[in-house]
Amino acid sequence: MADLTVKLGNLILKNPVMTASGTFGYGMEYHNFFDISRLGAVVVKGIRMEVSDGNPTPRVAEVTGGMINAIGLQGPGVDKFLHDEHYMPFLRKVGATTIVNIWGKSLEEYGEVAAAMDSESDGISALEINISCPNVKEGGAAFGTDIKLAQSVVAMVRKNTKLPIITKLSPNVTNIGDFACAAVDAGSDMVSLINTLGAMAIDIETRRPKIANVCGGLSGACVKPVAIKMVYDVAKRVKVPIIGMGGIMNAADAIEFLIAGASAIAVGTANFINPMATIEIIDGINEYLDRHNIKSVSEIINSVRL
Amino acid sequence: MKFGTILKNENFKSDYYEIVFYHPEIAAAARAGQFVHVQIDEISSRMLRRPFSIHDTDIEKGTVTVVYKVVGDGTKRLSGKKVGECCDLLSALGNSYSDVAPDEYPIIIDGGYGAAATYILAKNSPVKGSFLFGARGERDVILTEKYQALNWDVKIATNDGSVGHQGLVTDLIAKVIEENPGKKFKFFACGPHPMLIALTKILMQQNLDGEISLDHVMCCGIGACFACVVKVNADNEQKWRYARSCSEGPVFNVKEVYIGD
Ligand SMILES: Cc1cc2nc3c(=O)[nH]c(=O)nc-3n(C[C@H](O)[C@H](O)[C@H](O)COP(=O)(O)OP(=O)(O)OC[C@H]3O[C@@H](n4cnc5c(N)ncnc54)[C@H](O)[C@@H]3O)c2cc1C
Ligand SMILES: Cc1cc2nc3c(=O)[nH]c(=O)nc-3n(C[C@H](O)[C@H](O)[C@H](O)COP(=O)(O)O)c2cc1C
Ligand code: FES
């Protein structure tokens, strides 16, 4: 049994396997399959101040090797998230290491959400700032693809919380490394990448887009090579820990991200097909390390041989 | 146990297949209206799961039956599976129809493969009711003989008039009500969205009770991704909210269904 603990700055995780925001609900659904406190961390679906309806349907379309989604960040709002038994109180009760993904429609709202989480931070291990959702007009992508706005969001959240901050980066930019550096300069303790890639699919019989929002974000196995390169690029630019994601379906994929430069990884679309994917990935990483006589997972992080 | 072994996978009419899995746990747990989420491709990175209503179960034999129509890549691949092969199954998912009470007269209204979803309900009902089935044409008239064999009153409507009444299945409701005076009607339905919304409007207008299975394109099937939402009435300004059809449904009482737009 290798040592799977990873240190992300001051945040220590029992293993490097987390869930990708929006693909794991608020944890409860998957707790029927396994004890979610076994995960490195549970990253919950994006939360803003108010209740949020999300986009019209259809919201998803399958494509070769992946899917396009435009869920549009449906969510219960801060108050319900912090106090309703299905959300934070549940995660606290089962002892899950919890990271809250936050977003807002304005700069001020990002600050308000961060402050609200900070004031009741019992059980919250970190905040992940979502400035990269391609599916909401206000907030989301608008902040994540403009370097100055991205920086001001991070600075605003920094001002309102003592919790560790992870900035989730959009791949829909010319140079993701520049955004990573900007986030770190503004006070981000870590970066996570990638969010979904802007994408579209059309039904040729009706000539209509396959999802109601017209465009959405691509995820799943098909995005992995793109995500690996971005993690590799960002690892060369920043010293802070990187959380890698995009198309991780099994332990081999997860290990590839660690080697490319990620200190932890997140599993998204794979949860939809195999609810046990995260647990199988933890076991698979351990087996790989044992097979290679490596004592600690930290030895393979950022270890690509050129 | 994750896997169900295929005991039978047969094309019984036009594009329709019946597949029987050996899976005693699901057979024992399944209730009318619930669904099974099937991993069709054994390599998980290649295809999302596909949801299918549980058509029938046999607790003693440990079997679960699904009736499906081949409409695209997933169902095509499923139709090529051989007896003895296995599929990873997630089930029994979703909520279920209420049991029919002895003082109720059940009326089932189905369209297309919706007929698969209500069979367990009819089989377990203490009262023989009416089964109204709608389809585009003869090619899509399925499972009516199974309801006949349960001694239910079967009525069929087709758009092209090739079988039964020419028109919509909802046209048949008035006749059934007329034939059964003084009874306490309870409607159960599954089928295409427009049919279910039309039915909901009729039942609400006439103050009749009913439950419909509103399925929508699904992804996780367990309530985690918010892909499969449908509009339900809510106590807020806009009067509706999005509910997850996989976990809060697929069965909704007609009083819950938002019919505003
Ligand atoms: C709760 C539930 C129960 C279902 N029960 C049955 C059943 O008992 N028998 C059966 O044959 N089918 C059932 N379906 C529909 C079935 O899941 C789809 O037909 C199937 O996923 C299509 O997969 P495919 O890869 O063959 O087609 P795709 O290539 O994915 O799609 C082909 C066509 O089918 C349409 N389609 C895809 N998913 C759905 C859906 N959920 N509802 C309506 N149309 C869809 C697409 O819009 C497209 O036009 C059910 C769906 C749900 C959500
Ligand atoms: C259905 C769905 C919903 C998502 N919702 C969110 C979200 O609320 N917040 C967020 O930061 N990312 C969201 N994402 C992006 C994922 O967290 C992840 O970055 C992306 O899907 C790539 O990983 P994957 O290929 O393993 O899915 C969502 C992705 C999917 C597929
Ligand atoms: S299919 Fe994921 S929430 Fe219903």
Q: Does B46 touch chain A (CB under 8 A)?
A: yes
With the most atoms of ligand 3 within 8 angstroms of its CB, the residue from B34, B214, B219, B230 to mutate is: B219
Asked if B113 and B89 touch (Cβ cutoff 8 Å), the reply is no
Domain boundaries, chain B: 3-93, 104-214
In a domain, A214, yes or no: no
pLDDT at B44: 79
Q: Name every residue whose Cβ is closer than 8 Å to that of residue B142 and which is 6 or more positions away in sequence.
A: B12, B13, B16, B67, B112, B113, B115, B135
pLDDT at A135: 59
Query: Ligand 2: which residue has its CA nearest to atom 29?
Result: A22
Q: Is A181 a known active-site residue?
A: no
Q: What is the CATH number of the domain that holds A110?
A: 3.20.20.70
Q: What are phi and psi of A37, to 5 degrees?
A: -75, -10
Closest residue on chain B to A220 (Cα): B45
Is the CB of B226 less than 8 angstroms away from the CB of A273?
no
Residues of A in contact with B223 (CB under 8 A): 25, 29
Encode chain A (306 residues) as per-residue pLDDT tens digits.
899 999 999 999 999 999 999 999 999 999 999 999 999 999 999 999 999 999 999 999 999 999 999 998 899 999 999 999 999 999 999 999 999 999 998 899 999 999 999 999 999 999 999 987 665 656 666 688 889 999 999 999 999 999 999 999 999 999 999 999 999 999 999 999 999 999 999 999 999 999 999 999 999 999 999 999 999 999 999 999 999 999 999 999 999 999 999 999 999 999 999 999 999 999 999 999 999 999 999 999 999 999
pLDDT at B40: 94
Asked if A130 and A140 touch (Cβ cutoff 8 Å), the reply is yes
Q: Does B163 touch chain A (CB under 8 A)?
A: no
pLDDT at B165: 94
Does ligand 2 come within 6 angstroms of the Cβ of A164? no
Burial class of residue B198, CB neighbours in 10 A (0-12, 13-18, 19+): middle
Residues of B in contact with A29 (CB under 8 A): 220, 222-224, 247
What token pair was written down for B73?
């890549």
Which stretches in chain B have pLDDT values below 50? none
Is the CB of B225 less than 8 angstroms away from the CB of A221?
no
Burial class of residue A144, CB neighbours in 10 A (0-12, 13-18, 19+): buried
CA within 13 Å, CB half, B71: 8
In a domain, A253, yes or no: yes
Catalytic residue among A133, A181, A215, A222: A133
CA A210 to chain centre: 25
pLDDT at B90: 94
The number of distinct structural domains making up chain A is 1
Sort residue A33 into left (φ over 0), alpha (ψ -120 to 50) or beta. Answer: alpha
Q: What are phi and psi of A88, to 5 degrees?
A: -55, -45
pLDDT at B254: 95
Q: Which amino acid is at B50?
A: R
What token pair was written down for A170?
């959009």
CA A46 to chain centre: 10
| Number of other residues whose CB lies within 10 A of the CB of residue B153 | 15
Does ligand 3 come within 6 angstroms of the Cβ of B214? no
Closest residue on chain B to A57 (Cα): B229
In a domain, A62, yes or no: no
Q: How far is CA B195 from CA A296, B63, B119, B174, in A?
A: 59, 31, 19, 16
CA A205 to chain centre: 35
In a domain, A209, yes or no: no
Q: Does B226 touch chain A (CB under 8 A)?
A: yes
Q: How far apart are the C-alpha atoms of A304 and B14, rounded to whole Å?
A: 55
The CATH number of domain B3-93 is 1.10.10.1590: no
Q: How far apart are the C-alpha atoms of A177 and B245, rounded to whole Å?
A: 40
In a domain, A89, yes or no: yes
Q: What are phi and psi of B88, to 5 degrees?
A: -75, 120
| Of the candidates A180, A190, A108, A174, the residue with the CA atom closest to the CA atom of residue A150 | A180
If one looks up domain B104-214 in CATH, what number appears? 3.40.50.80
Domain range for A153 is 6-52+74-197+220-299
Query: Which sign does the torsion angle of CA B100, B104, B105, B108 carry?
Result: negative
Q: Does B216 touch chain A (CB under 8 A)?
A: yes
Q: How far apart are the C-alpha atoms of B261 and B251, rounded to whole Å?
A: 20
Report angle CA B23, B28, B34 to the nearest 5 degrees.
90
Is the CB of B242 less than 8 angstroms away from the CB of A74?
yes
In a domain, A1, yes or no: no
For this complex, say whether ipTM is above 0.90: yes
